[in-house]
Amino acid sequence: MRKKLAAKSGIRETYKGTFVRIGVKHGYRGDEPTVLIENILTIDGEHVTNHLWFNLTKGFKEADLHIGDIVMFDARSKEYEKGYKGRRWDVFDKPVRKDYKLAYPTNIKVLERNSTEPNLSKVS
């Protein structure tokens, strides 16, 4: 569990992290693009988690992210349930448990641009 995010549950703060790549999550609505941010810190420099996945929102698209960019954003710490909740008996996953994430990212800005890597955020 992300204990530092648990301590900030419900609090909206400014964070920064490194953009790593675009991904995809599969759901009943179809495939949805996601964004991987690593080494997430508060704006004061306190390390809160190694990585988090975010939906590829309009704000992330408009930021025109490149691999290695340092991104600043506002978000709220929120509890969620982690693990498989389906009914398939043949899926042996860890039991459902509580964890914390950063939700509702806004005011997304690039603090440091890494111009050596290609732009991978051009997802339609």
Domain residue extents for the chain: 3-112
Match 């419900």 to its residue by tokens.
10
CB 80 within 8 Å of CB 100: yes
Write down the H helix ranges in 8-121. Answer: 58-62
Predicted local confidence at residue 9, as pLDDT:
82
Tell me what the pLDDT averaged over the chain comes to.
86
Query: What residues of the chain score a pLDDT lower than 50?
Result: 124
The Cα 77–Cα 53 span in angstroms is: 13
85 backbone dihedrals φ, ψ, rounded to 5°? -115, 10
Would you state the structure tokens that stand for residue 55, as one six-digit string? 């939906």
The pLDDT, as a whole number, for residue 102 is: 93
How far is the C-alpha of 103 from the C-alpha of 55, rounded, in Å?
A: 10
Tell me which residue of 49, 5, 114 sits closest to 36, measured CA to CA. Answer: 49
pTM: 0.82
Q: Where are the alpha helices (DSSP H) in the chain?
A: 3-7, 58-62
Rounded CA-CA distance 105/122 in Å is 19
Q: How high is the pLDDT of residue 122?
A: 53
Task: Domain 3-112: give its CATH code.
Answer: 2.40.50
